Structure 1
Amino acid sequence: MWGTLPLYFPLLQPAGALEIIAHRIVWSLLFCLVLLLATRQMRGYLAVMRSGRMLAVLSAAAVLVAANWTIYVFAVTSDHVVDAALGYFINPLVTVLLAVLVLKERLRPAQWVALGFGGAAVVVITAGLGTVPWVALGVAFSFGFYGLLKNRAGRTVPAIPGLAVETTVLAPVAVLYLLWLGAQGTSTFVQEGTGHALLLVSSGIVTALPLLCFGAAARLLPLSVVGMLQYLAPIMQLALGVLVFHEEMPVVRWVGFSLVWCALVLLTVDALRSLRVARVARVAQR
């Protein structure tokens, strides 16, 4: 679902990125509230809303995911699909970097080498294109910090209540912005017809479903499997950017992507080796 999003958001034009994000927030919240009632998880949602510490963590996560959505929607509606794909390729490297800087984890040599490849990729693309890949870095770091906060909260907050709390926090700002657009006469919700309005409403489902699937998968599947599956979305987005939207891919961009892919291969191989060693150690202790 995430891999095909570059095909969806251009359909919402002429709505701008901020209007699209506001609709995503409002309709995602309504969709989540329906799911909470259907799955009988409303009590968990209300418990998080009453928990000061957990509400603070998820509020910070809400701000980060809103920033990520805004950067991403801007990217796919302004011919930067390839940059958005690069951001999600860089994201696992950002996660490793945050593990060192925030969680004070000790990295294995292969992980340090992978970070070096990632840094080299950014330098190569910046030097070759004459500009820092801000879109890619914005996507990567906003989702990286979001993942860090969700990791802290996700152990106790299920996927649906968590997303419902995040969109609840964002909803007042989103509603006020949509009302302001309406008062200014610049809202596209009514002016562009029923079909456009229904597409904006559908943004709630389009936003919530992959996030809920991701949240559920992170709780049920081994982390190594989740990590490798996450490479599918940027691969699909890169293919769409090059083959469907015909975005330019000069040699320097291919070199930068190749460096990131080398880093991801190193991370994956190292993670699988670490899991195998841990598994052997557990068997030996029995």
Structure 2
Amino acid sequence: MPTAYTDTKRGFVYAVSAYAIWGLVLPLYMKALNHVSPFEIVAHRVLWAVPFAVLLLGWQGTLGATLRLLTDLRTVLLAALTATLISLNWGTYVYAIISGQAIDAALGYYINPLLNVLLGAIILKEKPTRLQAIAIGLAAIGVVILTVKAGGLPWIALVLACSFGTYGLLRKMVKVDAAEGFFLEVALLSLPSILVLATLPQIRFGADMTETSMLVVAGPLTAIPLILFAAGARRLHFATIGILQYLVPTMLFLTAVFLFGEPFGLWQLIAFAFIWTALAIYTVTLIRQARAERRRLRGAASQGGAPTHGARFKEGDEEGHATRTQA
């Protein structure tokens, strides 16, 4: 856990490792499975993540308590909604990678933080700052440019951002930690995943040893970055996490352009310039908020008050961040 004013090196290692898996390893992994249906890939991600999640909860000693959550109707209904959204997000992401549209996937994760601010303003009545409003406007201009000049509405980016943003809002309402929430979601998705595999006209599982092994490993590969990120978030400040999160779309963008060879023209560059500028402005607001919080904590400390409330507030925010799982 961070102190009131510092991050930890271990927190950086955990968080950057998680982002490297999400932004580099998973895109390469999914590209290697481009002969497999996205439906089959997502189904196996879910099914092979279940035993991994069970082992994790057993190791933590929270398996029994988590299983009892399945008797709470409100928790189950909310988890079913978040599970639906995250499966839509995963499916869209996999489709984007294997269909040669990874740049659009990167765009979706770039605009997601700004969409979160917009959703907070609309649904939670959280008034954005002036700079945040400017950032949202610049990002919107970028999306319009892509729609009008660069091949049409970037629906993959919008589906990824909207599903991920709505998932984050609903996930806050499920009062469980990251590991418990992950288990509930994959457990609830297990039966639909089995039905998907049963109804697909052709499946690759069992037909090729390499692909079969990769489909099995897709489950742990889904869970491991979640664990790393949750561990990192507990040791880093919210503003630090907010800045580091851009590693994922940046690595995905670079992978798409330089490794996958996806086309990136002038109008796309102009649109992304608007979006990158918007993110730079948004990052400034995060840094300002972090500095204001640190000044408040120093003031409380100088008056003899313990700064634990601020640290706990950040930790809670970071845990919420950790539940909004990527890719």
Coarse TM-score class (shorter-chain normalised): over 0.9
For the 8 Å contact 1:159–1:216, the answer to whether it is kept is no
Q: Distance in 1 between matches of 2:140 and 2:231?
A: 31
Pick the structure with more helix per residue: 1
Q: Distance in 2 between matches of 1:57 and 1:221?
A: 28
Report the identity percentage.
Answer: 36
Q: Alignment partner of 1:152: what SS?
A: coil
TM-score normalized by structure 2?
A: 0.82
Q: State the Cα deviation string for residues 38-63 of structure 1 (Å, max 9, x = none).
A: 22120231232222222222221111
Q: State the Cα deviation string for residues 80-121 of structure 1 (Å, max 9, x = none).
A: 011111111011111111110111101110010011011111
1:3 aligns with 2:18: no
Question: Could you tell me which of 281, 285, 293 is aligned with 1:278?
Answer: 293
Pairwise CA distance, 1:273: 0.9
For the 8 Å contact 2:54–2:183, the answer to whether it is kept is yes
Instruction: Give runs of aligned pairs for residues 14-25 of structure 1, distance below 5 A.
Output: 14-25=35-46
What residue number does 1:142 align with? 163
Q: Distance in 2 between matches of 1:158 and 1:217?
A: 14
Q: Distance in 2 between matches of 1:136 and 1:218?
A: 25
Q: State the Cα deviation string for residues 136-174 of structure 1 (Å, max 9, x = none).
A: 111111111112222333xx4122111000001111000
Which consecutive unaligned segments of at least 5 residues does structure 2 have?
1-20, 304-327
Pairwise CA distance, 1:246: 0.9
Q: Distance in 1 between matches of 2:46 and 2:33?
A: 15
Question: Could you tell me which of 202, 206, 231 is aligned with 1:190?
Answer: 206
What residue number does 1:173 align with? 192
What residue number does 2:275 align with? 260
Instruction: Give runs of aligned pairs for residues 2-81 of structure 1, distance below 5 A.
Output: 2-4=22-24, 5-81=26-102
Structure 2 CA distance for partners of 1:54 and 1:218, relative to 1, 3 Å: farther
Pairwise CA distance, 1:20: 0.6
Which consecutive unaligned segments of at least 5 residues does structure 1 have?
none
1:160 aligns with 2:214: no
Structure 1 vs Structure 2 CA RMSD:
1.5
Q: Alignment partner of 1:260: what SS?
A: helix
For the 8 Å contact 1:158–1:215, the answer to whether it is kept is no
1:120 aligns with 2:141: yes
Structure 2 CA distance for partners of 1:71 and 1:14, relative to 1, 3 Å: same
Aligned residues, how many? Answer: 280
For the 8 Å contact 2:31–2:98, the answer to whether it is kept is yes
What residue number does 2:259 align with? 244
Structure 2 CA distance for partners of 1:55 and 1:218, relative to 1, 3 Å: farther
Question: Could you tell me which of 227, 236, 241 is aligned with 1:212?
Answer: 227
Q: Distance in 1 between matches of 2:97 and 2:250?
A: 15
Q: Alignment partner of 1:105: what SS?
A: coil
